[in-house]
C-alpha cells in the first residue's frame, strides 16, 4: 500500500469515528429510563420515565421565543418469520414548549391541553413523565402472542424556523433525541 493511500484510509477512519462520537454525544442528553405497558380491560397503556437534558442552545432559543416541538413515538409490532414485522399500533404525542415573555412563564402544550410553569426545569419534568397513555386497543392484540414495543423521544427540527433549521444542520446541540428503546410485550391470555 502506498503512503498516500494509507493516509487517506486513516483520514477516512478518523472522520468516521468523529462522526460517530458527535452522533453519540448528540443523543446522550435524552434517554428512555423506564417504559412499561399494561393491559386494561379496553386498552393497552404506556407509562414511561424519560431523562431529558436540554442543551444550553435550546434553552436560549426557548427563552428568546422560539417554540420547540418534541415528538414521543411509540410502535407495537408483531414479528413474522416470512415477511417484515407487522405494525399493530403506532402512536405519536407532540409536545410544544414555548416561553411567554409577558407572563414570564414557560408553556407546555399537548393538543388542546396547556400548562404554564415558572421554570424550564418544571416544564421538562412534566414532559419526562408519562402515565397511562392509551397506545392500542386490547381487541386488536391476540392473546398469547409476544409483541415488540418501541419508544423514543426526539426534537422535531422540521418545525423550527427556517433560519434556525439551516444553522441546526449537523450541530449536535440541536439533535436532541433518544435511541429507540425496544422490549418484548407478552399479551397474556384472558382468564376464564
52: Cα within 13 Å, side-chain hemisphere: 27
Does 2 fall in a domain? no
Separation CA 67–CA 56 (nearest Å)? 15
pLDDT mean across residues, the chain:
83
Domain-located, residue 178: yes
pLDDT at site 2 = 54
Contact 159, 137 (CB under 8 A): no
Residue 191 lies in a domain: no
Question: Residue 145 falls within a domain, yes or no?
Answer: yes
pLDDT in tens, 69-105: 999 999 999 988 888 889 999 999 999 999 999 999 9
Q: Is 138 helix (H, G, I), strand (E, B) or coil?
A: helix
Q: Which of the four pLDDT bands, split at 50, 70 and 90, describes residue 26? A: very low
What is the C-alpha separation between 46 and 18, in angstroms, rounded? 36
Q: What whole-number distance in Å separates Cα of residue 156 and Cα of residue 133?
A: 21
Structural domain includes residue 67: yes
Tell whether 142 is covered by a domain: yes
Number of domains in the chain: 1
Q: Does residue 6 lie within any of the structural domains? A: no
Using the predicted structure, report yes or no on whether residue 166 has a pLDDT greater than 90.
Answer: no
What is the domain extent for residue 111? 29-186
- The whole-number average pLDDT for the span 134-153 is 93
Within a domain: 72: yes
Amino acid at each position: 500500500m502506498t503512503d498516500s493511500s494509507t493516509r487517506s484510509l486513516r483520514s477516512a477512519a478518523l472522520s468516521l469515528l468523529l462522526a460517530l462520537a458527535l452522533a453519540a454525544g448528540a443523543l446522550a442528553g435524552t434517554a428512555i429510563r423506564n417504559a412499561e405497558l399494561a393491559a386494561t380491560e379496553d386498552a393497552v397503556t404506556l407509562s414511561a420515565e424519560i431523562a431529558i437534558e436540554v442543551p444550553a442552545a435550546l434553552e436560549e432559543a426557548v427563552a428568546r421565543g422560539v417554540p420547540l416541538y418534541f415528538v414521543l413515538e411509540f410502535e407495537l409490532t408483531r414479528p413474522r418469520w416470512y415477511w417484515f414485522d407487522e405494525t399493530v399500533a403506532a402512536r405519536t404525542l407532540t409536545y410544544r414548549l414555548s416561553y411567554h415573555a409577558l407572563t414570564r412563564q414557560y408553556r407546555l402544550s399537548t393538543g388542546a391541553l396547556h400548562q404554564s410553569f415558572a421554570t424550564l426545569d418544571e416544564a421538562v419534568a412534566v414532559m419526562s413523565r408519562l402515565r397511562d397513555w392509551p397506545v392500542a386497543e386490547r381487541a386488536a392484540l391476540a392473546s398469547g402472542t409476544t409483541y415488540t414495543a418501541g419508544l423514543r423521544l426526539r426534537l422535531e427540527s422540521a418545525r423550527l424556523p427556517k433560519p434556525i433549521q439551516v444553522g441546526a444542520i449537523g450541530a449536535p446541540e440541536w439533535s436532541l433525541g433518544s435511541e429507540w428503546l425496544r422490549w418484548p410485550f407478552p399479551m397474556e391470555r384472558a382468564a376464564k
